[in-house]
Amino acid sequence: MKFSSRQDIETPIDEVFGVLSDFESVERSAIRRGIEIRRGSDGATPSEGMTWDATFLMRGRTRTVGICLERLDPPNAMTFAIASPSISGGMDVELVALSPRRTRMLVTIEIRPTTLTGRLFIQSMKLTKKKLDRQFKRRVADYARMVEDRFTRLA
């Protein structure tokens, strides 16, 4: 199952990448949303191979997911691998400079089942795909607005 969204942000590409790669801020945001997150690597600066373990409640069950930063190409892209006992997948974030002060952000998440339980989970998600697509696009748009707001406050 695949989700994707594209947002144009009125912020230079370097600033957008800086916000996206501020993993401490992303971790704090996840904790505020009720996600328990533990960083596996100790590095303060973003680097390939960084890992996280996230535990959260979804559809009435506690889920645990491992996340690994597989590719870091400043300021153009980041690729994450996602793995859990029943699902695997990845997330790609690509940035394209449209002008010196405008950036296009493309976010794609793809998940695949690895077990029968995962297949049932994905199948139940397919039943509500349109709703999940809208939620995903809304969250990416909210994040893009937050990046713009953060830049305008600092500028």
Which single residue is written with the structure tokens 């645990």? Answer: 64
Tens of pLDDT, residues 1-33:
999 999 999 999 999 999 999 999 999 999 999
- Helix or strand or coil: residue 115? coil
- Cβ(52)–Cβ(62) below 8 Å: no
Position 37 in a domain: yes
CATH number at residue 126: 3.30.530.20
As for how many domains the chain has, the answer is 1
Range of the domain at 100: 2-149
Position 41 in a domain: yes
Q: Closest Cα partner for 104 from 35, 17, 26?
A: 17
Position 111 in a domain: yes
**pLDDT attached to residue 135:** 97
Tens of pLDDT, residues 107-122:
999 999 999 999 998 9
Cα→Cα distances 67→20, 21, 24, 153, Å: 15, 14, 15, 31
